[in-house]
Amino acid sequence: MNKTEFDAVVVGSGPNGLAAAITLQQAGLSVLMLEGKLDIGGGLRSAALTLPGFVHDTCSAIHPLAVNSPFFRTLPLDAYGLEYIYPPVAAAHPFDKGPAAILTQSVEETARSLGPDEKTYLNLFRPLIDQWPRIDADVLGPLTFPKHPLDFAQFGLKALPPVTWLARSFKTKQAKGLLAGMAAHSIQPLSNFTTAAIALVLMTAAHRRGWPLPKGGSQQIANALAAYFRSLGGKIESNFYVSALSQLPSCKAVLFDVTPRQLLQIAGHRFSPLYRWQLNRYRYGMGVFKIDWALDGPVPFPEESCRQAGTVHLGNTLEEIADSELRASQGQHPEKPYVLLAQQSVFDATRAPAGKHTAWAYCHIPNGSPVDMTAAIENQVERFAPGFRDRILARSTLNPAQMEAHNPNYIGGDINGGIIDIGQLFTRPALRWSPYRTSAKGLYICSSSTPPGGGVHGMCGFHAARRALKDVFGR
């Protein structure tokens, strides 16, 4: 490596690493980004995993938080080739019996689809939709005194309880199931406190700006961020895996887009005993088992609303989803797992050859589990889309260990960088005045193991960079 001195180095090119690098470069610093893999992006990568001509998202697929991110919204990413596609239905939730629940950008349309729960839904979400621009930066950031404390407090009262409590306000299985499917994105038992928060954030995001997918694959988000960073004068070196501080060039600050386990390996000798102890106690959550399919046609959902949805939650009722997530958190492998499915090629013709399609899905299983969940996932898809198996041309599977090999931040297949329960929501990765500072001067952590946690929003990197700018560079 060229040992030219940089002001700052960012290790890892996931969305948070890219956000941190951009923030530092925007401030006039000279920034080097180092990526261990050949391709940049972390969870924002796409590849031909099955057959030639089929483009699959290797991790993240649908991006409600990217378009709602207070930081990403400020960047001219469309000028660097990023184009979002908005499915007519953000998410659909089919049931064994009765109509599917739907989430669309229109809060009125979504509420009407819930029948007797229409008024309750509107009473819950209309205030949140109005408040969101005043609280989004505080919700997607570290625990500080909010700019609009009354609005933030009203959100917190709704977000703090388990989603199972919030669901009691509704009568229909459609409304309860829709909430459960959203909350299960948190990858923890639905009886945990704060599981209502992820449901409220994702659903409010849909009503504010939709749930889009990037044309050409999630890699296009990383490519646009990297192109913008380079346009500012930033430098990126890929295929450079950092395992020790001695590998880094001279600089004043280093920001790590890694989880506590890797951070300890790289720089543990520089940390105080207390900080090392805290990082060693950091908890990782459930892993995921993921499948990508090349298909001879679209997923044959019987209901039009499901065929028009970018995301489909397959889990039936709230009770069934809650049972599935609880079992997985206890080390079991549910026979009928909750499955998140995306069907990007229905809306993006660049994802598959003419007349063919892709589909993407995963379920939650115990961290690090070697159990093959292919049959269980495909049984769930077949359950809600009879004839699905007949359309499979090829498949690619990733178990938790393979997910971690693909992205070292996915410890044991945990794609959230550590469980985001009440014990680690604002104190991740350690209880400190600033969660982004380590105990070593000039070393910071900017990954999803810091607030606000997992998701493609870049806010962990943005806040960590702001902290470093203030601490090290007096800005």
Between the CA of residue 120 and those of 107, 306, 475, what are the distances in Å?
12, 24, 46
Between the CA of residue 166 and those of 87, 117, 162, what are the distances in Å?
27, 13, 7
Look at the alpha carbons of 372, 375, 379, 385 in this order and tell me if their dihedral is positive or negative. positive
Q: Where do the CATH 3.90.660 domains begin and end in the chain?
A: 84-212+285-406
Q: Which two tokens stand for residue 355?
A: 């007349």
What does the pLDDT average to over 54-78? Answer: 97
- Count Cα neighbours of 255 within 13 Å in the Cβ-side half-sphere: 39
What is the chain's alpha carbon radius of gyration, rounded to the nearest angstrom?
21
Which of 120, 127, 176, 174 is closest to 153 using CA atoms? 127
Q: Where do the CATH 3.50.50.60 domains begin and end in the chain?
A: 8-45+65-80+214-282+417-473
- Strand, coil or helix: 219: helix
pLDDT of residue 151: 96
Average pLDDT, the chain: 97
Between the CA of residue 105 and those of 47, 55, 88, 196, 286, what are the distances in Å?
29, 27, 8, 20, 30
Burial of 23 (0-12, 13-18, 19+ CB in 10 A): buried
Residues ≥6 apart with Cβ < 8 Å to 203? 103, 125, 182
pLDDT at residue 1 is higher than 80 = no
How many CB atoms neighbour CB 203 within 10 A?
26
371: left (phi over 0), alpha (psi -120 to 50) or beta: beta
pLDDT of residue 346: 98
What does the pLDDT average to over 224-244? Answer: 98
pLDDT of residue 3: 56
Q: Which two tokens stand for residue 259?
A: 């989880």
pLDDT of residue 426: 82
Residues ≥6 apart with Cβ < 8 Å to 165? 196
Map tokens 């749930």 to a residue: 211
- Count Cα neighbours of 298 within 13 Å in the Cβ-side half-sphere: 18
pLDDT at residue 201 is higher than 90 = yes
How many CB atoms neighbour CB 389 within 10 A?
12
- Strand, coil or helix: 274: helix
Query: Which residue has better confidence, 475 or 396?
Result: 396
Q: What are phi and psi for residue 417, nearest 5 degrees?
A: 70, 25
Q: How would residue 414 be classed by pLDDT, with cut points 50, 70 and 90? A: very high
- Compute the residue count for the chain: 475
Q: What is the CATH number of domain 84-212+285-406?
A: 3.90.660
pLDDT in tens, 156-190: 999 999 999 999 999 999 999 999 999 999 999 99
Which of 1, 7, 10 is closest to 462 using CA atoms? 10
Residue 350 is given by DSSP the state G
227: left (phi over 0), alpha (psi -120 to 50) or beta: alpha
Q: How would residue 402 be classed by pLDDT, with cut points 50, 70 and 90? A: very high
pLDDT of residue 415: 98
Residues ≥6 apart with Cβ < 8 Å to 439? 270, 271, 272, 274, 275
Q: How would residue 74 be classed by pLDDT, with cut points 50, 70 and 90? A: very high
pLDDT of residue 5: 86
Q: Which fold has domain 8-45+65-80+214-282+417-473?
A: FAD/NAD(P)-binding domain (3.50.50)
The pTM assigned to this predicted structure is 0.97
Instruction: Give Cα 438 distance to the centre of its chain.
Output: 24
